[in-house]
Structure 1
């Protein structure tokens, strides 16, 4: 299989800079909103392989994207662990039974893939629908990010509960993170077996930690995942993305991953100079640029591309997910501009 996205991740020559966008299948697309309404709710959509395939393919059918990403959610593993995941309108994910005690952690099942067959069925269904059009990215949340939701009981601004555990009961938190890392390895292994061509680990909340705590409670477990998955699938590229992780780039690039995702708070050229000889770099246009006029979007794309000096090893992306109220026409402007300017 020869795709610019895979070649860029492996630091091989590409015909142009490949692009995919975090949350490219999502609420900014009217066809996605229609399919979600048909499913009934978000998790019902995730758990229906045919509908998950449909929404994964929607942006591929509409835009000239270089990769598809599995339509799922990072909280599938905690959900399978029996924490009672539900979504409240306007408030995001919540858990009926958040982790509070050592007994709660010890009670978590070590093996959850049997309850996640809908994800693997989704991967194989999407892979079949994609054919040779584009590679398929599988993904998971990082152990630290999953643990924040499991301990806080949902989204948080202060992370008070998990940070209290980090300082007061560090061994308890390490036990949870280790269990999660093992579950993620098994989960990603099965995604590759089902047809995923590359993998992403999303560490959405790694950036809320101090340097040493990030290394000890987040990156160490992502390192374990990279090693565990690579032991089984040495040729499957893995990208790590820590939001606000710009101060840890050297350490992230030393994990054995193939790509490092960066947000818009760091300069692509600076990142290339720091780690570009080690890994491919994914990023990093500010998602808010998507609210601008087509002319400004094109100009901002050119700025990002002009920062990167190498001819391989860059995957264009937003610095985080595309937001729900973006005009889909602006996505076309973005994708076409990346291809037009990089092909030159």
Structure 2
């Protein structure tokens, strides 16, 4: 159905298989820092029109791959597609980010919500298939979803928040209501991600953007529990190919052991977690993704190359590392600068891998 994959470096690293050099992609690699993206968005009319038209979604997904030697593409969409499909009416307010026409604040609101299926988001599935064909086997395609906790924060807070007072009030005063919402979201995410796999996604990432605002016990109960539920129900092999899953909790470095125990293939690290320490703690069980500070891209070529080397050296020899930013690329980054980072990863990364694909990995017990 799809062209044969030519560059599987990213998928191999996620499965801790030998690679020739460290693979790299960037969260939010298709975005407002690129002039061609801004032109496409202007033509489409608005952000949601980009997401809901498979040709536009394919166009902007491929834009960074035409500029940079990336090892993976990521579906161009938004984490809030599921709440939108539940009937909350997603829209974007200029300068304020995402908003909903209907917010969730009561048990009755939760009870009224449907559990979505992949057919409720068929425009996303169509985009996945269109992008796979558009990639023509050049690199793998990553599908994604927000975590149930992260989706719930937006639904209850009605957008971004500084103090998360509404969802935390529900968590402490009406935990059963919040658990009911998270369960519906987990079931919806399972259907959504499995639909993306069937449509052509070759790896998945779960974005737990707001998991790090929780205390340890609350993270276990209200975020990690539901991500584990999702991982237990995903298609992990499709048409003879393993579908690796990356779990990314921003500011979640203190919970790496618990995250690794979910069955994820890789953990995303933000820049506040030391990658050497992370590898020592969980690196025999999972691959690691990350974790340079996105603000490094505001610096010049020499600084970027130095900071790339620091991250590569921190991980050390052997496979199981996918280089990435510690969070999404910033809007005001000079579009020439990501090339410095990507080229440095590929050039400097070679010395951390055996020319014979695996000798150093064997020496390091991987």
Q: Normalization by structure 2: what TM-score?
A: 0.92
Look up the match of 1:73.
78
Look up the match of 2:359.
none
Equivalent residue for 2:108, pick from 100, 103, 112: 103
For residue 309 of structure 1, report the CA deviation from its aligned partner: 2.2
For residue 312 of structure 1, report the CA deviation from its aligned partner: 0.5
Alignment of 1:181 with 2:180, yes or no, is no
Aligned-pair Cα RMSD in Å: 1.1
Provide the C-alpha distance between the structure 2 equivalents of 1:116 and 1:308, rounded to a whole number of angstroms: 38
Look up the match of 2:33.
28
Provide the C-alpha distance between the structure 2 equivalents of 1:155 and 1:110, rounded to a whole number of angstroms: 23
Equivalences for residues 198-217 of structure 1 within 5 A: 198-217=203-222
Contact 1:80 1:112 in 2 (8 A): no
Equivalences for residues 210-289 of structure 1 within 5 A: 210-230=215-235, 235-289=242-296
Provide the C-alpha distance between the structure 2 equivalents of 1:186 and 1:317, rounded to a whole number of angstroms: 27
Provide the C-alpha distance between the structure 2 equivalents of 1:246 and 1:267, rounded to a whole number of angstroms: 9
Look up the match of 1:307.
314
Contact 1:206 1:214 in 2 (8 A): yes
Equivalent residue for 2:333, pick from 298, 323, 326: 326
Provide the C-alpha distance between the structure 2 equivalents of 1:109 and 1:154, rounded to a whole number of angstroms: 20
Provide the C-alpha distance between the structure 1 equivalents of 2:270 and 2:164, rounded to a whole number of angstroms: 21
Look up the match of 2:364.
none
Contact 2:197 2:235 in 1 (8 A): no
Alignment of 1:292 with 2:315, yes or no, is no
Contact 1:268 1:308 in 2 (8 A): yes
Provide the C-alpha distance between the structure 1 equivalents of 2:286 and 2:236, rounded to a whole number of angstroms: 19
Provide the C-alpha distance between the structure 2 equivalents of 1:259 and 1:38, rounded to a whole number of angstroms: 37
Q: Normalization by structure 1: what TM-score?
A: 0.98
1:55-108 alpha-carbon deviations (Å, 9 max, x no partner): 000001110000000000000000000001110001000111100111111111
Equivalent residue for 1:152, pick from 157, 163, 167: 157
Provide the C-alpha distance between the structure 1 equivalents of 2:16 and 2:340, rounded to a whole number of angstroms: 26
- Give structure 2 stretches of 5+ with no counterpart: 352-366
Look up the match of 1:141.
146
- Give structure 1 stretches of 5+ with no counterpart: none
Alignment of 1:117 with 2:125, yes or no, is no
Contact 1:77 1:112 in 2 (8 A): no
